[in-house]
Amino acid sequence: MSAISSHRKPPRVGDAPWVRRSLIAFVLVIGALLVVAPLVIIGVEAFSQGWKVYSATITHPDTRHAIMLTVLTALIAVPINTAFGVAAAWAITKFDFPGRRFLLVLIEIPFSISPIVAGVAYLFVYGLQGLFGPFLDAHDIKILFALPGIVIASMFVTAPFVARELVPLMQAQGRDLEEAATSLGASGWRTFFSVTLPNIKWALLYGVVLCNARVMGEFGAVSVVSGNIRGQTNTLPLHIELLYHDYQTAGAFASASILALLAVVTIIAKVALERRGAGRGAKKTNGGAAIATET
């Protein structure tokens, strides 16, 4: 008896059926209240006054301009942040240099600063009374209350997303494949495109999807630097706020349904990429044999 009992595993937290069921029920209730219910309300309220009101709101010039400005911001900010994330991850994981830890901390700063604080900081850098304000004004260069300011604020908020997905994966992969490719005569660009990129492609796409979703939904920093000019510098989140303040509830929810749809698409893409092995929990892949075989 003692021998049998000594081999029994100690009980785990939550092994009791009532504990397990209670935890699952608690998570489901909280998820329904915090995630599912708002999405359902957005859909119901968006069509509460019928399809004509919904269609009129979506096709309104101000709404169309807000959507176009949001898409344009994403088309500029996401590729730049993708290039930055890949370069930062490559530098941190493939080279030894003084300041590596500082660079990691620097990348994480946007996650620890409120977006509104970042927007105000840009006012003191590019505003008329800011650090570069007089120079920009003298040369008739407009940063704030225009597209460049919106893009810069969006880039600041979303800068860490791609790098955060790539750094852990590339650290786990190590440098062996790149060093082997280099020893076989491959150039730096050849090594990147033939060895590194195939091994990080799913994690890269994962970070890009998250970055794009955050750019399109960013409110705090953009609200400070855009000036909230209707039909000119309003992105879709800012346009939703203006409609709500104008007591156009159905119109606000109709516009919000576009962002809600984007959120659902992002979740689906996120799950699909995770099944492909993306995310920070991705396992090391075997890619790099192409250089050896071709050489």
Average pLDDT over residues 283-289: 44
CB atoms inside a 10 Å sphere around CB 45? 16
The average pLDDT across 170-185 equals 83
Q: Taking Cα atoms as reference points, which of 95, 100, 98 lies closest to residue 178?
A: 95
Burial class (CB in 10 A: 0-12, 13-18, 19+), 152: buried
Considering the domain architecture, whether residues 21 and 107 belong to the same structural domain is answered as: no
Residue 44's alpha-carbon distances to 105, 241, 293, in angstroms, are: 43, 18, 58
Going by pLDDT thresholds of 50, 70 and 90, the confidence category of residue 283 is very low
Is 100 found in the same domain as 116?
Answer: yes
Q: Categorize the per-residue pLDDT at 215 as very low, low, confident or very high, splitting at 50, 70 and 90.
A: very high
What's the average model confidence in pLDDT over 253-271?
85
Q: Are residues 39 and 178 in the same domain?
A: no
* 10 within some domain: no
**22, part of any domain:** yes
Using the predicted structure, report yes or no on whether residue 25 has a pLDDT greater than 70: yes
Residues 63 and 158 in one domain: yes
The angle subtended at Cα 68 by Cα 35 and Cα 237, nearest 5°, is 35
Whether 2 is covered by a domain: the verdict is no
For residues 141 and 28, membership in a common domain is answered with no
Does any domain span residue 1? no
Domain count, the chain: 2
Interval 149-166: pLDDT, tens: 999 999 999 999 999 989
Averaged pLDDT for residues 78-99: 90
Highest mean pLDDT among 38-42, 82-86, 126-130: 82-86
Residue 188 lies in a domain: yes
30 and 140, same domain (yes or no): no
pLDDT band of residue 295 (cuts 50, 70, 90) is very low
pLDDT band for 286, please (50, 70, 90 cuts).
Answer: very low
Residue 276 has pLDDT above 80, yes or no: no
Both 114 and 36 in one domain: the answer is no
Length of the chain: 295
Q: Tell me: the pLDDT tens digits for 122-139?
A: 999 998 888 888 888 888
Is residue 270 in some structural domain? yes
Domain range holding 28?
17-46
Task: Compare 3 and 247 and report the one with higher pLDDT.
Answer: 247
Consecutive H or E run containing 140: none
The identity of residue 218, as a single letter, is E
Distance of CA 85 to the CA centre of its chain: 12
Instruction: Using DSSP, state whether 246 is helix, strand or coil.
Output: coil
Percent of the chain at pLDDT > 90 equals 25
Is residue 127 domain-shared with residue 113, that is, in the same domain? yes
Residues 63 and 201 in one domain: yes
> Is position 231 within any domain?
yes
Instruction: Report if residue 200 sits inside a domain.
Output: yes
| CATH number for 67 | 1.10.3720.10
When comparing pLDDT for 119 and 3, which is higher? 119
- Residue 108 and residue 187 in contact, taking contact as beta carbons nearer than 8 Å: no
Model confidence band, residue 11 (pLDDT cutoffs 50, 70, 90): low
Does one domain contain both 251 and 214? yes
Same domain, residue pair 42 and 162:
no
Rg over alpha carbons for the chain, rounded to the nearest Å, is 24
Query: Given a cut of 70, is residue 293 above it in pLDDT?
Result: no
Asked whether residue 40 falls in the same domain as residue 177, the answer is: no
Which pLDDT score is estimated for 14?
60
